[in-house]
Amino acid sequence: MDIKLGLRSNLVANLTGNTDFANADVDTQQFNLTPYKLFFPEKRQFFLENAGVFNFPLAGSSDLLFFSRQIGIDPITGQEVPINGGAKITGSLDGFELGLMDVDTRSSGPNPYANYAVLRVKRSLPGGSYIGVMGIDKRSGSRTDPFNQTGGVDTRLVFFKNLIFSAYAAQTRTPGLSGGQTNLGAVLNYQSNWLDLYQEHRKIGRHFNPEVGFLERTDCLCDYLDANFKVRPKMRRLRELNFEGFFFHAPDTHGVLQTQEWQGAFRAIFHNGSYSDDDIADVFTQRITDPFNIYKNLVIPNGLYHWTRHQLAYGSPQDRRLQVQLFERFGTYYNGHLNEARVRATYRAKERLSFSFSQQWNRFRLALPGGNFSVVVGSFQTNYSFSRFLSISTLLQMDTANTQAASANIRLRWNYRPDSDLYVIYTAGQRFASLVAASPAQFTENRFAVKWTYSWSP
C-alpha cells in the first residue's frame, strides 16, 4: 500500500506498507572489468520520487553518501529484502529544502531486520549555490554490526556563472572500527565556450564505511584533473571538435600507489547528432592487493600491473529511425590482452513500436591457466503501445558469465485512470544486480505478479 499526502503546497509525505516493487524496471546486466563496485541506479518508485532532495554527491564520481538501493535489496546477491513500511517527507519549508525518511525492513535470509533513518537539509544561496547537512542512522538485528551512522556537510558555490566550487566533509561510525572514518573532498569546475576544466581532490579514510551509501573505494588520496578544449570550425556539417585529456592518481593514505590512469582523446560532434570518440591512448596502472576473481574460478593474483589500451567509437545521427552506436577498445590488460566490442541499436518502426538491441563481446587472452575466454553480454528490448493507456514491454538479456545466462522481463501496463495502473509482470532470471566488487553469484527468480494501483484525492 502506498499513500501520498500534500502537507503544504510544496511539502509532500509518502507512506508505504508491505511494499511490492514488482513493477520496477530490472537492472541492465553488466560485466565488471574492475576490482571495484559497479553503480546501478535506483529503479523503485517510492525511492525515486523526489530523490534529488536526498542527493549528497561525494565529489564528481558516482559515490554517494546516501544510496537508497542499500535499503530493501541484498547488496551481495541482489535479492529483494521485504520492507515492512516506510515514510518520507520531501519539499521546502521556510527557505530550506527538506528530506526526511524512515524505512523498516524485516529479516530475510542472511539479512537481519533493520531500520533506516535519513535526514537531509539544504539552504539555497544566490546564483544556484547551497549549503547542506545530512545524517543517516542504520540499526539492525546483527550482533556484529548493530548500527552504522553517517553524517556530512556540503556546499556548492557558483561564481561568475561558469566557475563552481564544491566541497564536503563526512564521517561514519561503525562498531569495531576506530580512526580513518572520515572523507573530505573538494571540486573546482570551470566551463566556457572553448574550455572545460575540472579538478578534484579527495581524502578517504581506510575505515570510512557508509553502509547506506555507495563508495567505490576507501583508503585513498584521490586526485583527478580533466581539461577539454573545444573548437567550432566553420565547416558545413561539423559542429565541434574536442581535444580532451585527464589524469587520475590514487595512492592510499600511506602514499602507496593503487590506481593511476591518464588518457588523451579526440572527439568530433556533427550537426545531425552523430559523433566519433577516439582515445589516442589510455594508460593504466592498477595494484591488486586482494586476488581479483574476474571470471568463474579465474583469479588475477596480487601485484602491480601496467597496461595501455585504445578506443574507437561512433554514434549515428539522432534524427533517424535507426540509431546505431559502435565501440571498439583494444590493448593490453593486466598480464594479457583484452578486446571489447559493443554494438547498440535502436529502431523506431512506428510511433507505437520500437526495438532496442545491445551486444558486448569481451575477448580475454590472459597469461593464466584457462585465461583464453570470452564473455558476451547482450539485451533485446521491445516497446509497443496499443493506445495512450495500454502498453507492453519486453526485455531479454544474456550474460554468459552468470550461471543462468539468460533472463527475461515482460510487463503489461494499463493506465485506466490518471495516476492509477494495472500491471501484469513476468520475470525469469535476475532483477536487481549485486553492488559488491568482482562477480558474486546473482539471485535469480521466476515470478509472475499482478499489481493494481488506485489513487484518489480526499
Q: Render 68-94 in DSSP notation, one character per residue.
A: GGGSSB-TTT--B--EEEEEEEEEEET
Across 189-196, average pLDDT: 96
Which residue bears the cell 600491473?
Answer: 305
* Residue 131 zone, left/alpha/beta (φ > 0; ψ -120 to 50; rest): beta
Q: State which of 28-42, 69-83, 120-134 shows the largest mean pLDDT.
A: 120-134
> Cell digits for 15?
507512506
Q: Which residue has the higher pLDDT, 445 or 275?
A: 275
Residue-wise pLDDT for 316-358, tens only, equals: 998 899 999 999 999 999 999 999 999 999 999 988 999 999 9
Largest CA distance in the chain: 68
Provide the pLDDT confidence category of residue 22 given band limits of 50, 70 and 90: confident
Q: Give the β-pairing of 96-105 and 83-93.
A: antiparallel
Q: Find the Cα–Cα–Cα–Cα dihedral 242, 278, 344, 40, rounded to 10°.
A: -80
CB 115 within 8 A of CB 107: no
Provide the pLDDT confidence category of residue 401 given band limits of 50, 70 and 90: confident
Share of the chain above pLDDT 70, in %: 99
Provide the pLDDT confidence category of residue 458 given band limits of 50, 70 and 90: low
Least confident span in 65-69, 95-99, 335-339, 427-431? 427-431
Average of per-residue pLDDT values in the chain: 93
Task: Check the CA dihedral 231-233-235-239 and report its sign.
Answer: positive
pLDDT of 404: 75
Question: How many Cα atoms are found within 13 Å in the side-chain-facing hemisphere of 32?
Answer: 23
Residue-wise pLDDT for 210-265, tens only, equals: 999 999 999 999 999 999 999 999 888 999 999 999 999 999 999 999 999 999 99
Residue-wise pLDDT for 363-390, tens only, equals: 999 999 999 999 999 999 999 999 999 9
pLDDT of 394: 96
Share of the chain above pLDDT 90, in %: 76
> Cell digits for 158?
557558483
Q: Render 222-256 in DSSP notation, one character per residue.
A: EEEEEEEEEE----SSEEEEEEEEEEEEEE-TTS-
- Other CB atoms within 10 Å distance of the CB of residue 19: 20
| CA dist., res. 146 & res. 128, Å (int) | 39
| CA dist., res. 98 & res. 29, Å (int) | 34
| CA dist., res. 156 & res. 129, Å (int) | 5
Residue-wise pLDDT for 117-170, tens only, equals: 999 999 999 989 999 999 999 999 988 889 999 999 999 999 988 999 999 999
CB 428 within 8 A of CB 397: no
Least confident span in 8-12, 137-141, 329-333, 453-457? 453-457
Question: How many Cα atoms are found within 13 Å in the side-chain-facing hemisphere of 145?
Answer: 15
Q: Cα dist. 146→14, 137, 140, 211 in Å? A: 27, 11, 5, 12
**CA angle, residues 73, 76, 77, in degrees to nearest 5:** 75
Q: Find the Cα–Cα–Cα–Cα dihedral 364, 365, 369, 375, rounded to 10°.
A: 20
245-272 exposure pattern, b = at least 16 Cβ within 10 A, e = fewer: ebebbbbbeeeeebbbeebebebbbbee
Residues in the chain: 458
pLDDT of 297: 86
In terms of Cα–Cα distance, which of 227, 369, 209, 349 is closest to 298?
369
Which residue bears the cell 544510496?
Answer: 67
Beta strands in 30-128 (DSSP E): 83-93, 96-105, 114-125
> Cell digits for 35?
576490482
Residue 206 has pLDDT above 90, yes or no: yes
CB 103 within 8 A of CB 44: no
Provide the pLDDT confidence category of residue 8 given band limits of 50, 70 and 90: confident
> Cell digits for 286?
592498477
Phi, psi of 39 (to 5 degrees): -95, 130
